[in-house]
Amino acid sequence: MNFKMDITKQIQSLFNEAKVYQSQSLFAEAKERYIETARLIKKSERLKNKNRLIRIISKKLKALENDANSFETLGWGHHPKCP
């Protein structure tokens, strides 16, 4: 039971980190967290609703991609002084 609680807390923490990064337009960091969240979900044998959780992560990744593309389209993707 502790394992399930620990993995659930890890998943929630990573998911929340991803949302924060996304809200700050840190798209690469958000993507890493979403992918790590999906890996934990897939790896866990004790989680219920794994498919539903993976679908949620997939939707978040698609939204993240759309946000990043919009950001780039607006020309905000690179600071002129950054390489």
Query: Is pLDDT of 1 > 60?
Result: no
Q: Please give the biggest Cα pair distance in the chain.
A: 51
CATH number for the domain whose boundaries are 2-73: 1.20.58
DSSP of the chain = -HHHHHHHHHHHHHHHHHHHHHHTT-HHHHHHHHHHHHHHHHH-SS-S-HHHHHHHHHHHHHHHHHHHHHHHHTT-SS-TT--
pLDDT in tens, 41-62: 999 888 889 999 999 999 999 9
Q: What is the mean pLDDT of residues 24-32?
A: 94
Q: Is 33 exposed, middle or buried (0-12, 13-18, 19+ CB in 10 A)?
A: buried
Output the pLDDT for position 81. Answer: 39
| Domain range annotation of the chain | 2-73
Whole-prediction pTM value?
0.78
